[in-house]
Homo-oligomer: A and B are copies of this chain.
Amino acid sequence: MVATIKNVAAEASVSPSTVSRVITGKAPVSSDKREKVLAAIKKLNYRPNILARGLKSKETKTLGLILPNITNPFFAEVAKGVEDAADAAGYNVILCNAGDDGAKEIRYLEVLHKKWVDGIVYDTVGVDTVDYLRTIMGDGIPIVTMDREIKGLPVDAVCLDNVKGGYIATRYLIALGHRKIALIAGPVYISTTTDREEGYRRALDEVGIQPRPDFIRYFSYDFESGFNAAAELLSFDDPPTGFICANDMIALGVIQQLERKGFQVPMDFSVVGFDDIYVSRLVKPALTTIAQPKYEMGQKAVALLLEHIARKRKRPKTALFAPELVIRESCGEQVRK
């Protein structure tokens, strides 16, 4: 049998309200009654039922986190940041692995909606969810997107300065003497991809290099993509000497392909990754990459949500984080022609 507030009240010979006041601390209670209540709580091992409380207060003290795959170290870092920040503020987080499945994403949005979470961190690339996001926001549940701004939806966002990221990666390779630089980008339709491409083009443009369309390839964010993209690029008559990759897993795939064909990195080709997942430093050659502050970005997402929950702000806001070049071993001076 689980104790309720009534049992405690009976045990302490007071009214349920008094018990409630002791617990919430929102109203004064005489110290003798307080002690009796505390004793009763302890004796009956009473825990307030948060569901019932939420039914009244409209607060669940839980947040939703939707991401593609927690198994991906990038998202795991973000998740940790989200969870830590939420915990520090007294919130829990419901983890939702949406995969690449748009339908599943919508189903999760529905569930979080029905569970009355107090806010949602939305970290995916799905495209068909705008309507539902609008519905949820209409019901007063704040949403913050990660690395993605949704046109037409006044939603908070936590983003990396992807233009700059693409730019500094490209400049670095240029400084090393590379002129033929390929960009193995992410899926073509998302802003992350287009922003990085813009930075890439800008860097090329600054030094008067004409970007070659066949050097820009759109793939997905995994090892195989890198592996395949490198094979394609290498088959050209005049292949690139440097590769800028949309994430570290792609970069690892590229390197694998390069080595499989008998080349050496960074002696023959240079490769720069993106994200700086922890594997990057374990691998040989250790990956030179564009780091994003994943953990901090997760924390920031929660901070933005909490501002909305506290009604401190109603206008949408975008938090922009700066990418950073981490130089390790996968890039070298251009020597091949």
Nearest residue (CB) in B for A77 is: B71
Shortest C-beta distance, A127 to chain B (Å), equals: 21
From B76, B80, B93, B282, give the contact of A94 (CB < 8 A).
B93
A80 contact from B49, B62, B69, B92, Cβ within 8 A:
B69
Copies of this subunit:
2
Q: Which residues of B contact A93 (CB under 8 A)?
A: 94-95
The residue that A54 contacts in the complex, of B51, B95, B111, B138, with Cβ under 8 A, is B51
Residue A13 is within 8 A (CB to CB) of chain B in the complex: no
In whole angstroms, what is the CA distance A87 to B114 when docked? Answer: 15
| Separation of A70 and B2 alpha carbons in the complex (Å) | 32
A114 touches B48 (CB 8 A): yes
A173 at interface (Cβ–Cβ under 8 A)?
no
* Residue-wise interface mask of A (52-76) relative to B, using a CB-CB cutoff of 8 A (1 in contact, 0 not): 1011000010100100011101001
Interface size on A, residues (CB 8 A): 45
Once A2-B139, A69-B80, A76-B70 are accepted as A-B contacts, the answer to whether A47 and B110 lie under 8 Å apart by CB is yes
Q: Which residue of B lies closest to A135 (CB)?
A: B45
Query: B94 near A50 (CB under 8 angstroms)?
Result: no
Cβ-neighbour of A50 out of B48, B80, B115 (below 8 A)? B115
Asked if B49 and A116 make an inter-chain contact with CB atoms under 8 angstroms apart, the answer reads yes
Which residue of the partner chain B has the closest CB to A60?
B51
- Is residue A96 contacting chain B, with contact meaning CB distance below 8 A? yes
The CA of A4 and the CA of B279, in the complex, are separated in Å by 49
Distance of A49 Cα from B58 Cα, bound (Å): 10
Would B62 and A94 count as touching, CB distance under 8 A?
yes
Complex CA–CA separation, A141 to B45 (angstroms): 14
- A16-51 interface bits toward B, Cβ cutoff 8 Å, 1 = contact, 0 = none: 000000000000000000000000000001011111
Distance of A92 Cα from B107 Cα, bound (Å): 12
Within 8 A of B (CB), among A109-157: 110-111, 113-116, 135, 138-140
Q: A59 to chain B: closest CB distance in Å?
A: 10
Q: Inside 8 A of A139's CB, which chain B residues have their CB?
A: 2, 45, 47
At the interface, yes or no: A197 with Cβ under 8 Å from chain B?
A: no
A255 (CB) vs chain B CBs: closest residue: B282
CB distance from A226 to the nearest CB of B (A): 12
CB of A161 within 8 Å of the partner chain = no
A31: min CB distance to chain B, Å: 25
Interface pairs A-B: 6 shortest CB-CB: A95-B95, A47-B114, A284-B284, A92-B94, A50-B115, A51-B54
Q: Report 28 cross-chain contacts, Cβ distance below 8 Å, ordered by A residue.
A: A2-B140, A45-B138, A47-B113, A47-B114, A47-B139, A48-B114, A49-B55, A49-B116, A50-B115, A50-B116, A51-B51, A51-B115, A55-B55, A62-B94, A62-B115, A70-B70, A70-B80, A71-B77, A71-B80, A73-B76, A76-B76, A79-B95, A87-B97, A92-B96, A92-B111, A94-B94, A282-B282, A282-B283
